[in-house]
Amino acid sequence: MPRSAKKDFTVTTNLFEAGFLVEPDSFVSLSGHLFLEGQDKSRVRWFVFMRHKNKCVICGHKLSLAVDEFHPDRGAWHHVKNCDCVGCSELRCDTTTGRKCHAHREIGFQREANNERST
C-alpha cells in the first residue's frame, strides 16, 4: 500500500478522539481516503463483505469472511485505488480458491465484459 498520501491531521485526530481509529499508523489522507493498519483494517473488512453481499464482483461466487485459508469460499478484499475505503474496494475470490478473480496482477488478466458488478 503506498504511503505517499498526505495525512489530514485534523480529520485523523478527530477520528482517534472519537474512537474510530486505534492503530497509530492509520490515517485519513487529504483526498479523504482511509489508510488503515491492524485492528482498524480488520474492523473495516467486514463492511467490504457486507457492501458486496458476500459475492465476488467478477464471477458472482458466494464468499465467506470466516473460513480457513484454503477454503473454496474464501474471499479477498481487493484495493482498487490502493486505499482502504469501503467505497473504493471490491470483493473477489481469493487466489487460494483456484479461481482467477483476484489475479489482477497476472499478465494477460482481463475482466470479462459480460460480467456485471454487484451493487
Contact partners, residue 108, CB within 8 Å, separation at least 6: none
pLDDT digits (tens, 9 = 90+) for 4-62: 678 999 999 999 999 999 999 999 999 889 999 999 998 988 899 899 998 988 888 88
pLDDT at 119 over 50: no
For the question of whether the overall pTM of this predicted structure is more than 0.75, the answer is no
pLDDT digits (tens, 9 = 90+) for 67-93: 777 777 888 888 888 889 998 888 888
Question: CA–CA separation, 5 vs 33, rounded Å?
Answer: 9
